[in-house]
């Protein structure tokens, strides 16, 4: 299963070169990830502990520039891997079949009490596995 969220490209996302600034792609991913983890996980599990995570690593492959503000792009999220305390998310930013960027982040579950990594719960693993890519 894939989660797809529409992100609005604001005119102020464009830089001096007339295309979306590279840092904004991570913002698109972050906003989609937040909505996915709160809307989808909270609906499925009746709790919101999956938002207790931090980004340990982020990689972006820029494929095609986005030149237009005032439009929407799709941010598709899938799960690549589920570990003990972390999981890997894959994002594809696209519109109408044109892929603009591919992003990969490593998320680490964090205890809000200790501010240290914690094991993923069984409920979190079950939820994440629904979005895991088929091998």
Comparing 9 with 92, the larger pLDDT belongs to: 92
Decide if 135 is inside a domain: no
Does pTM surpass 0.95?
Answer: no
State the Cα angle at 43 between 38 and 46, rounded to 5°: 95
CA distance 104 to 82: 13
Let me know if residue 91 belongs to a domain.
Answer: yes
Give the residue with greater pLDDT, 47 vs 36: 36
Q: Is there a domain that residue 94 lies in? A: yes
- Three-state secondary-structure class, residue 39: helix
Q: Please give the tally of structural domains in the chain.
A: 1
The CA distance from 21 to 73, in Å, is 15
**CATH no. for residue 55?**
3.10.129.10
Residue 68, domain member (yes or no): yes
Question: Which domain range does residue 51 map to?
Answer: 3-130
pLDDT digits (tens, 9 = 90+) for 58-106: 999 999 999 988 899 999 999 999 999 999 999 999 999 999 999 999 9
Q: Is 117 within the bounds of a domain?
A: yes
**Has residue 90 been placed in a domain?**
yes
Look at residue 129 in the predicted model and tell me its pLDDT: 94
Q: Let me know if 12 is exposed, middle or buried by CB neighbors in 10 A (0-12, 13-18, 19+).
A: exposed
């Amino acid at each position: 299963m894939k989660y797809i969220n529409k992100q609005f490209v604001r005119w102020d996302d464009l830089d001096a070169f007339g295309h979306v600034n590279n840092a904004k792609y991570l913002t698109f991913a972050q906003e989609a990830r937040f909505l996915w983890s709160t809307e989808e996980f909270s609906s499925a599990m009746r709790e919101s502990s999956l938002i207790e995570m931090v980004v340990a690593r982020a990689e972006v492959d820029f494929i095609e520039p986005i030149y237009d503000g005032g439009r929407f792009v799709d941010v598709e999220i899938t799960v690549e891997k589920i570990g003990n305390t972390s999981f890997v998310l894959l994002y594809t930013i696209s519109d109408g079949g044109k892929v603009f960027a591919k992003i990969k982040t490593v998320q680490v579950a964090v205890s809000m009490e200790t501010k240290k990594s914690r094991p993923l719960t069984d409920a979190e693993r079950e939820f994440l596995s629904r979005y895991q890519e088929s091998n």
